[in-house]
């Protein structure tokens, strides 16, 4: 009889199986797919059309400036969607059934993250397409464009870790949506994504410049325009590492603190 597979291999296999389930559910959920497609279009057009002339008067190419935050906002929506789906599974008792089987505790979370990565990829593609239609361009070729996309997907995964930690804690889709809506809005609106830093009052500029959405948007903007991108990319990666550690610890604590499928 062959030896059992290593724990890591078993976790990956179980996560892959559960990811297939979540992908199948995603394919049947027209609202999820339409949200991934429509939200970048609606928000890009909604900000670009009324503000492009104002920004042009300030010397800002608004298509280049705006697209990164549209992508990041779509990634935040992906994270919230991930948490809502996870909370719905917990509320419906799916986690309780999974935990009654020899399945690694992290497998359902990793499976959902893998499935949500597909939604994130679709949102990035749609956002770039609409951006190109309005004049956005990658000025340094394929390499920086791939790093641009990789940063966006990394942001989605890190934010999903935090959102899923809340989902595991609450076990309620409604509570997750209410908890995450305001922080998502604040992160996006108090950032350099929609307007340059000079557009904020002086007392708010420190927060607007240093918070993670701004740092990721700055790095992605530099990659797209051909500006020096090493420093802003490193800063974004440091933000991602710190948030991943913090959110990952919260998620593991939530998984260990109670049996998924029961309410706190």
Average pLDDT (224-250) is 94
Residue 43 has, within 13 A of its CA and on its CB side, a CA count of 25
Lowest mean per-residue pLDDT among 36-45, 99-108, 109-118, 249-258: 99-108
What are the sequence ranges of the domains in the chain?
9-257
Kindly state the percentage of the chain with pLDDT values over 90: 49
pTM: 0.87
Average pLDDT (9-13) is 63
172 band by pLDDT with thresholds 50, 70 and 90:
confident
Q: What is the DSSP letter of 198?
A: G
| Predicted local confidence at residue 118, as pLDDT | 83
Using alpha carbons only, give the angle 169, 182, 189 rounded to the nearest 5 degrees.
140
Strands (E), 115-207: none
pLDDT tens-digit profile of 103-143?
Answer: 666 677 777 777 788 889 989 999 999 999 999 999 988 99
Lowest mean per-residue pLDDT among 9-23, 123-137, 143-157, 242-256: 9-23
Average pLDDT (142-167) is 94
- List of residues 6+ apart from 8 with CB closer than 8 A: none
| Predicted local confidence at residue 91, as pLDDT | 76
| Predicted local confidence at residue 207, as pLDDT | 94
CA distances from residue 4 to 1, 154, 175 in whole angstroms, order as listed? 9, 32, 40
Count the neighbouring beta carbons within 10 Å of the beta carbon of residue 92: 12
Lowest mean per-residue pLDDT among 59-63, 82-86, 125-129, 222-226: 82-86
Considering 105-114, 135-144, 148-157, 176-185, the range whose residues carry the highest mean pLDDT is 148-157
Smallest CA-to-CA distance from 208 within 222, 191, 183 is with: 191
Average pLDDT (148-170) is 92
Indicate if the pLDDT at residue 30 is higher than 70: no
| Predicted local confidence at residue 12, as pLDDT | 65
């Amino acid at each position: 009889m062959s030896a059992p597979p290593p724990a890591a291999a078993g976790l990956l296999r179980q996560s892959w199986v559960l990811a297939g389930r979540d992908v199948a559910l995603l394919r049947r959920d027209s609202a999820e797919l339409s949200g991934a497609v429509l939200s970048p279009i609606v928000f890009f057009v909604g900000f670009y059309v009324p503000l492009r002339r104002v920004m042009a008067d300030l010397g800002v190419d608004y298509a280049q400036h705006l697209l990164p935050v549209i992508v990041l906002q779509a990634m935040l929506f992906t994270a919230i969607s991930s948490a809502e789906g996870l909370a719905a599974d917990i509320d419906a008792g799916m986690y309780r059934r999974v935990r009654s089987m020899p399945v690694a505790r992290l497998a359902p979370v990793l499976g959902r993250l893998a499935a949500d990565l597909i939604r994130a990829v679709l949102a990035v593609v749609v956002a770039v397409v609409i951006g190109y239609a309005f004049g956005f361009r990658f000025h340094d070729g394929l390499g920086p464009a791939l790093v641009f996309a990789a940063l966006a997907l990394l942001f989605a995964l890190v934010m999903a870790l935090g959102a899923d930690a809340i989902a595991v804690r609450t076990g309620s889709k409604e509570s997750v949506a209410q908890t995450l809506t305001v922080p998502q809005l604040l992160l996006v609106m108090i950032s350099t994504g929609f307007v340059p830093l000079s557009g904020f009052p002086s007392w708010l500029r420190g927060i607007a410049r240093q918070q993670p959405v701004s740092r990721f948007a700055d790095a992605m903007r530099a990659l797209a325009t051909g500006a020096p991108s090493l420093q802003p990319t490193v800063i974004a990666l440091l933000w991602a590492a710190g948030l991943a550690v913090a959110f990952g610890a919260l998620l593991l604590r939530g998984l260990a603190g109670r049996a998924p499928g029961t309410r706190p």
